[in-house]
Amino acid sequence: MLSKVVKQLENSKRIVFFTGAGISTESNIPDFRSSNGLYNHEKIDDLTPEYLLSYNCFKNSSKLFYNYYFSNMIHIDKFPNSAHNSITSLSNLGYEVIVITQNIDGLHSLAGNKNIIELHGSVYKNYCINCGREFSINEILYKKPIPYCNYCNEIIRPNVILYGEALDKKVIDKAINAIKLADMLFVIGTSLVVNPAASLLQYYKGNQFVLINKSSTPYDNQATYRFYESCGKIMSEIIKRLGLNHGK
């Protein structure tokens, strides 16, 4: 089946990757829904991760929010794995690659991918809710337990979509347009159960839909090619075969 994917890639130009938490678990970043995911951790004072990472918690219990956020969502000691790096390699081989990710960990950027649509934002971007000044991740970590703006003393928030907030329509429209124009669509490391993100796949009208995820998803029957294996393993092998075919 891999040989067929490679052959299709050789006849394609615009490639879209739609990625979820499963691509980053191979960098030892926990996901939400697996047996070792955040949803299965012991609750803090009977509060769920959904509440602790919600806008309501940020607004009304900022210390509680940031304590959980700093402990569970910041992973600056983690690095891109072979799946992230393989996507970058595809760009280096001359393909037009767009990454649409549900992840906020910034690993696609760290891997050198340039054209990234971050549906839920990034932990590396932060801003003051009053004056709008931007702050790096290191700046807000230095300001624990609650980061406040140096200029107006208002609270700083991560530029991520919190529970209870809607996705940015401009970002959604950009993702939809990319999927519509894709020659091939790779969906990697996502259970595809979270909407509206998962519903974006309906805009792909092509017939080269590659799904790589260790467990089944609601979209399995729609995929042209399915791999229930490691994201890094499959992507590395694809790049290896492409490189050999290109004489590299």
Catalytic annotation present for 120: yes
Angstrom distance (rounded) from CA 96 to CA 152 = 42
Q: Treating both helix axes as pointing N-terminal to C-terminal, what angle do 82-92 and 231-245 enclose, rounded to 10 degrees?
A: 30
Angstrom distance (rounded) from CA 82 to CA 86 = 6
Integer-rounded Cα Rg, in Å, for the chain is 19
Q: Among the residues of 44-168, which ranges form H helices? A: 49-52, 55-60, 62-72, 82-92, 107-110, 137-142
For 43, other C-beta atoms within 10 Å of its C-beta total: 11
Selected catalytic residue, list 41, 108, 120, 246 = 120
Order of strands across the sheet with 121-128?
134-135, 121-128, 156-160
Residue 73 near residue 103 (C-beta atoms within 8 A): no
Alpha carbon 37 to its chain's center: 16
Q: Work out the angle at residue 175's Cα, subtended by the Cα atoms of residues 171 and 181, and round it to the nearest 5 degrees.
A: 145
Q: Cβ-count burial of 84 within 10 angstroms (0-12 exposed, 13-18 middle, 19+ buried)? A: buried
For the annotated catalytic residues, the residue numbers are: 120
